[in-house]
A and B are shown apart, each in its own frame.
Chain A
């Protein structure tokens, strides 16, 4: 089913350079960049907003794309790991916050590093929960049957989502648990608009994580093994890669990224049972836009979705933030049914 119009690089070399970039994908990406450049001069706040939120959606979407790419699982419970991350960060950060509040003088260093334990804890908890899910749910299902795997796991994760949301409600109640801010510092002026340090930190965290993540995927042995599994499971197994290990690692990593996003955005999204819903469908917008399973595409796509969102909020209204991106994505899918970067995705598909 996967026809790749311009797949082999040898074919690309024959296509003139100008023509190569005159594709729908590159036009869209180019348009997005042009809009960003335009607004840098006209209304820089749009650019800042796009980059800051885009960074976080990239974290979420990269994890979602990774799990789909490697394990063929369309994770409907991805948002719940966002929730788990923000919950963990809250429980780690709030005692520290109290300590700082009680002793404002003697905690110079703590003020700077206080948010990080929560984020690290979120990473660990997210990884653990993801790994456990792989072991207790996906592995038995994989053993039982791989028929209609994609759809079955989608429904399975829908069940996981219901359990996690309502389990949270059952244990921790319907309360909002958040922090007003991570770093109590004055906003910094960038491109003429004042940006809070939290936002910048979130962007930096997202970028650093994505860089580390890409380096892991591209440079390390384990990352290479992961990509090998994504390309061809049987082949990877023949080369001596333990599938189970890779699956546990992939699921854990993906969930850890989502949890980190939740933890870093604690000041924007206070933790409550279904806080993960919006991040979930945003991440899904991104991966559908970019093409399922394409990690690099997801990172670019995150910024495009974020740009559409920011423009929607500015020109149409906050309420339409869900409606306009949806229409846009439907439009894109009419032209490119497998997503913007779909042609580069590997083709492990049920149908």
Chain B
């Protein structure tokens, strides 16, 4: 992708109004997300459950996009890091009776630590090697979880206490929405900081970043660790929301699912994956429920969407929104500029 720098250098007024538009856009989206489970078709338990999965997937995709979209390392072991967090939190609660709230944080720490080790090991390698090594680490971790039935109960599944004292989905939804916003805010803040600048420099041009004095491995490891820590935190939520853990949670297919959402949403934006996850998960959930006779249909659609995005629209959903917004609010600019983000 060509690095699209604001080539027209919009005036300060314009930049300010653009920032205001972005804030309004975000506020509207958050308001919709908060109000949605109260509005009729969505106020039933089934729909709320779908919304919880949507918010959880949104948060996964944000954490995933933080590495994939900014430093161009695709963490193919992502699901394994979610799994580490989930199992850490779950086992702490089951074996030591530690509160799930503390467990979730411990899960994030352990996951982050394993991410740190993995990162130090793999991130000196070139892009594809790093991705594949993360995948191997994920496979190995899944094997370990499956092969230690004395500790993890293996594929029988580990029953885990729930986070809240209720089976109502609504409080869980607001909780996971909070976690999603926390993830978004923290990761966006990092991206806007000096560290984030280094991430983007590395992601766009490794050689140039090196030449300007950035130690790539260090920043790659920081990014990877942070992403894995959030994956662990989300894993903790997963564990204490569903109440059952199986090694299948760590499977590669889950990573691919998160990856699909992240890329369909738009790589390197964080908000794109967060927004697209909701409709995607709700629609696929409904498809799954309606078309039980056609197993796998929703995943076929997922895969097709991912393929379409990869081949024809690399900027994904976020790119569509951006170009539409540009078309609406900057009608007088020439055609070349509106086409720039999708070029």
Contact = CB atoms under 8 A, between A and B. Distances in A.
Contact of B147 (A150, A166, A273, A320): A320
B140 A323 contact: yes
Interface string A68-112: 000000100000000000000000000000000000000000000
Interface residues of A, number: 54
Contact of B295 (A154, A173, A329): A173
A197 interface: no
Contacts of B336: none
Interface string A216-238: 00000000000000000000000
A158 B143 contact: no
A82 to B, nearest CB: 15
A132 to B, nearest CB: 13
Contacts of B121: 330, 334
Contact of A288 (B72, B132, B295, B302): B132
**Contact residues of A: prevailing secondary structure:** helix
Nearest to B252: A277
A147 B343 CA distance: 12
Interface in A163-179: 163, 165-170, 173-174
**Contact residues of B: prevailing secondary structure:** helix
A140 B295 contact: no
B284 to A, nearest CB: 11
B252 A151 contact: no
Interface in A322-338: 322-323, 326-327, 329-330, 333-334, 337-338
Nearest to A155: B310
Contact of B139 (A147, A162, A326): A326
B152 to A, nearest CB: 13
Contact of B124 (A152, A162, A170, A337): A337
A349 B127 CA distance: 10
B72 A326 contact: no
A170 B300 contact: yes
Contacts of B312: 140, 144
29 contacts: A74-B128, A140-B311, A147-B1, A151-B128, A152-B310, A159-B306, A160-B307, A161-B303, A163-B300, A163-B307, A165-B296, A166-B295, A166-B300, A166-B303, A167-B300, A169-B295, A170-B300, A281-B252, A284-B132, A292-B128, A319-B147, A321-B143, A322-B139, A322-B143, A323-B143, A326-B139, A327-B140, A330-B133, A330-B136
Interface of A: 1, 74, 137, 140-141, 144-145, 147-148, 150-152, 154-156, 158-163, 165-170, 173-174, 273-274, 277, 281, 284-285, 288, 292, 317, 319-323, 326-327, 329-330, 333-334, 337-338, 349-351
